[in-house]
Amino acid sequence: MVASPGVKKSAAPKPVPPSPYRAFATDFDGTLAHDGLVPEATLAGLKRLREAGWKVIMVTGREIADLSRVFPHMDLFDVIVGENGALLYFPKDKFFQRLAEPPPSNFVERLVAMGVGPISVGHTIVATWEPHQDKVLQAIKELGLDLNVIFNKGAVMILPAGVNKAFGLQAALEHFKLKSVQTVAVGDAENDHSLLEASGFPAAVANALPALKQRAKFVSQSSHGTGVAELIDFLLPPPPHESTDDRRRRHQRENDGGRA
């Protein structure tokens, strides 16, 4: 059958992953990346997931502008949940969707007056570092604000009540008409508890906190991005050219270096 003039043939549908998992959500710092660097094999694994029909989602505490300075491969993701769940960023269209309102400006002004610094202000998130958490809590109480304080490896993140990685992931999944039970999620740190809890298959990399590993159904033998590549290899059949021994040697090389 010949298509009518001016009518485009529809693109071939992408393959759909076997049930039940169709989305892959990963933290960035300490999980996908180590010191901002991601192994080449891990980048290749993310590409394989998308080619297999998965939705690939990053869920990070970073602001998008900050992430873009250290990670030039954001287009590997269908969506990035930024600011610890407070916004969605769609790399293909360079489109932001804020999921919650920021704290009032007098909150940041009060922190500055109290000597808190450095302070980073995103679309929604306000962030600083330990040991300023007591002053942050004092300012929240003084101003009568409904804000949560979330800790992550020394960072002190302030967000509207109810906003965390699970909140942002749920918004991303709803955009793609997917459910939490269809999601594999992997992380390493304190703020990843909600991320793993909101998934159907929680996973942790080898360098993750012990409490996070206890929540996981899969814990990689390798750390950081190599551990993520190991998880992807667990979820997908190996590339046709790669034997089990080849895969093992590749993981060993990545453990020894070779980051992008």
Lowest mean per-residue pLDDT among 65-69, 114-118, 184-188, 250-254: 250-254
- Is the confidence at residue 29, as pLDDT, over 80? yes
What domains are defined for the chain? 23-99+163-256 (3.40.50.1000), 105-160 (3.90.1070)
Residues of the chain with pLDDT > 90, as a percent, come to 82
248 pLDDT tier (thresholds 50, 70, 90): low
Q: Kindly report, residue by residue over 115-171, the tens digit of the pLDDT.
A: 999 999 999 999 999 999 999 999 999 999 999 999 988 999 999 999 999 999 999
Q: Kindly report, residue by residue over 103-118, the tens digit of the pLDDT.
A: 999 999 999 999 999 9
> With contact defined as beta carbons under 8 Å apart, do 164 and 61 qualify?
no
Record the pTM.
0.86
Read off the pLDDT of each residue in 65-84 and give the average, rounded to a whole number. 97
237 pLDDT tier (thresholds 50, 70, 90): confident
